[in-house]
Amino acid sequence: MSDVKQLFAGIGCREGKPVVLGDKKEAAGRSLKTLAYYYNNNGADGLLLWDMSESDEDHERTIGILKELAREIDIPIVTGGRVRRLEDVKKYLYAGAKAVFLDGSDLDNVDLIKEAADRFGSEKIYVHLPSPRLLCRVAEFIQLGASKILLDVAGNVEILEAESYTGQEGPFLILCNEQEVPVISVCMAAEHSAGVVLTVPRDGDGSYMELKGELKKRGQKVETFGSALGWGSFKPNGDGLVPVVVQDYKTEQVLMLAYMNEQAFEDTLRTGKMNYYSRSRKEQWLKGETSGHFQYVKSLHLDCDNDTILARVHQVGAACHTGNTSCFFRTLAAKEHKETNPLKVFEDVMAVIQDRKVDPKEGSYTNYLFDKGIDKILKKLGEEATEIVIAAKNPDPEEIKYEISDFLYHVMVLMAAKGITWEEITEELANR
C-alpha cells in the first residue's frame, strides 16, 4: 500500500441531485456536476459517488451523470449503492467508474463480491461496511477479492484504536463526516488507512488543496503541489519576476503569458490555482478571481535557463480578457501546412463526419452510410478489417497503411452514429 494517503470527496446522488452523505439531506444551492467539478479542480484525489436511486428511471439518470463526469473530470470515481447483480457492477464500470463498492452488510453479496472480482479484477471491487460491527468480516471480504474496505465510522473515530479495527489488514478508506482537521488527521493516521472520504461538503477558497496543506503540517503524507526547485534557484528579471507561458493541458494550446514573483509562485503551489503579479497594477492577482475563469494547475515546468515557467492548466472559460480562448488569437503571418498531429487529424476528420450527420451533403459517401443505418456501417467495418488482414500478408507497407486508414474512417462513422467522441476513447485508453 502506498504511503501517500488519499482524500476523497463523497457525494450522494438521488434524482440527479447531490445529497450530503453525513445527514442524507440535499446539498442546497449546488448541482451534482458543480460539486464534482469543484472537488476535481480543488485538490480532491477522488470522488465517491453514492447512487441513492429509488427507481430504475432514477438509477439510469445517475448512470448518465456518471458517464458525463467520467468524461470531464480527471480524478477517479468510485461508485455503488445500487448493486443487485453482476450486470449492475458492469454498468457502473462501463460508465467510467474506477471501482464499485458493494454492501458488506448484505449477505446476498458474498457470492457477488467473488464473482465481480473474478470478472473485472480485484482492484475494481470495494466493500462498504456501514457499521464497525462488521469489521470481523474484513478478512473474508479480502479473501473473496475486494481490494479496499470503505469503513463508515459514523463519527466514532475511537474505533480506529480498538482491537476490532487494528487487528484487521485493510486497506481502509475511512468515511468521515467531520470537517475538523484534527479528526480527519486521526482517520488518515489510522493503521491500514489508505485515506479518507469526506462525506460532508467542504467549501471555501482552496478547499481540499488547503486542507491537505494543513494535514501535511500534521505529518500526513498527502499529495500536494511541491516544487522540485525553490524560488532561489530561479533567475528572475530585473523586476524580480519570471515570465509564465500558460498552456491548456489537454489541447496544448498556448493560452497566455503572465508573470510571477515569489509570492505568486508560493500561492500557486499552496492553492493549486494560477496566481500572478500584475506589472501594470503593481499587485498580486489570482486568475479568475473576478471573472470566474480560474486556471487549475496540472503541472509546472522550468526551462533550461531557469528563467521561464511553462504552466499546463485546466482553463475554466476563456483565458483572454477579450473573451477569446487564447490571448494569441490574431494571426500575423502563416504558411499553409499539413496537420500531422494524430489526435488533431482524427478530430478534424470526425468533425467533418459529424457535420455530415447534422447537415447532409448530396453525393456524400458518409451520408450514404448514415442513411443505410447501423447494419451497413458494421458490414463495412467487417469488410475493412478483413482487408487489413489480407494487406498484412502483403510485403508492400503502402497497402496496409491505406487499409488501416479506411478502417479508421469507418470506425469514426460508427462512433458518430453512436455518439462517441475521440476524447472518450483516449480517456478510456489512458485508464487502462
On whether both 346 and 305 belong to a single domain, the answer is: no
On whether both 237 and 194 belong to a single domain, the answer is: no
> Can you give the pLDDT at residue 432?
61
Rounded CA separation 265/243 (Å)? 11
Rounded CA separation 324/318 (Å)? 6
Rounded CA separation 233/307 (Å)? 9
Amino acid at 80: G
Reduced 3-state DSSP string for 88-105: HHHHHHHHCCCEEEEECC
Residue 150 region, left (φ>0) first, then alpha (ψ -120 to 50), else beta? Answer: beta
Q: In total, how many domains does the chain have?
A: 3
> Can you give the pLDDT at residue 205?
55
- Identify which of 156, 148, 109 has the alpha carbon closest to the alpha carbon of residue 132: 156
Question: 162, 185, 217: which is the final residue of a domain?
Answer: 217
- The pLDDT tens digits for 2-55 are 589 999 999 999 998 888 886 656 665 678 888 899 899 999 999 999 999 999
Looking at the domain assignment, is residue 324 inside a domain? Answer: no
Looking at the domain assignment, is residue 391 inside a domain? Answer: yes
| pLDDT more than 70, % of the chain | 95
- Identify which of 175, 164, 117, 122 has the alpha carbon closest to the alpha carbon of residue 147: 122
Which CATH number does the domain housing residue 158 bear?
A: 3.20.20.70
**HSE (side-chain half, CA atoms, 13 Å) at 38:** 18
Question: 265, 297, 315: which is the final residue of a domain?
Answer: 315
Looking at the domain assignment, is residue 190 inside a domain? Answer: yes
Local structure of 302: helix, strand or coil = strand
Looking at the domain assignment, is residue 226 inside a domain? Answer: no
Grid cell at residue 431? 485508464
On whether both 85 and 205 belong to a single domain, the answer is: yes
The answer to whether 43 and 37 are in contact (CB under 8 A) is no
Looking at the domain assignment, is residue 333 inside a domain? Answer: no
Report the DSSP beta bridge partners of residue 295: 315
On whether both 300 and 423 belong to a single domain, the answer is: no
Per residue of the chain (432 residues), give pLDDT as tens: 458 999 999 999 999 888 888 665 666 567 888 889 989 999 999 999 999 999 999 999 999 999 989 988 989 999 999 999 999 999 999 999 999 999 999 888 889 999 999 999 999 999 999 999 999 999 999 999 999 999 998 778 999 999 899 988 889 999 998 888 999 999 999 999 999 999 887 765 557 888 999 999 999 999 988 899 999 999 999 999 999 999 999 888 999 999 999 999 999 999 999 999 999 999 999 999 999 999 999 999 999 999 999 999 999 999 999 999 999 999 888 776 655 667 778 888 999 999 999 999 988 999 999 999 999 999 999 999 999 999 999 887 788 888 999 999 999 999 999 998 887 888 777 766
On whether both 209 and 245 belong to a single domain, the answer is: no
Residue 103 φ then ψ, to 5°: -80, 115
The answer to whether 44 and 224 are in contact (CB under 8 A) is no
Looking at the domain assignment, is residue 118 inside a domain? Answer: yes
| Structural domain containing residue 353 | 342-430
On whether both 168 and 271 belong to a single domain, the answer is: no
- The pLDDT tens digits for 391-408 are 999 887 788 888 999 999
On whether both 238 and 275 belong to a single domain, the answer is: yes
> Can you give the pLDDT at residue 425?
85
Which residue reads 441513492 in cell numbers? 52
On whether both 235 and 213 belong to a single domain, the answer is: no
Rounded CA separation 342/174 (Å)? 43
The answer to whether 152 and 187 are in contact (CB under 8 A) is no
Looking at the domain assignment, is residue 415 inside a domain? Answer: yes
Cite the beta strand spans of 209-286 per DSSP E.
242-248, 254-260, 275-278, 283-286
Rounded CA separation 145/124 (Å)? 10
> Can you give the pLDDT at residue 398?
81
On whether both 202 and 246 belong to a single domain, the answer is: no
Do the strands 275-278 and 283-286 form a parallel or antiparallel pair, or are they unpaired?
antiparallel
Grid cell at residue 52? 441513492
Looking at the domain assignment, is residue 35 inside a domain? Answer: yes
DSSP at 338:
-
Which CATH number does the domain housing residue 383 bear?
A: 1.10.287.1080
On whether both 114 and 53 belong to a single domain, the answer is: yes
Grid cell at residue 250? 489537454
On whether both 42 and 117 belong to a single domain, the answer is: yes
Question: 217, 251, 279: which is the final residue of a domain?
Answer: 217
Which residue reads 504511503 in cell numbers? 3
Question: Which element (helix H / strand E) includes 342?
Answer: helix 342-358
Report the DSSP beta bridge partners of residue 214: none
> Can you give the pLDDT at residue 269?
93
On whether both 237 and 174 belong to a single domain, the answer is: no
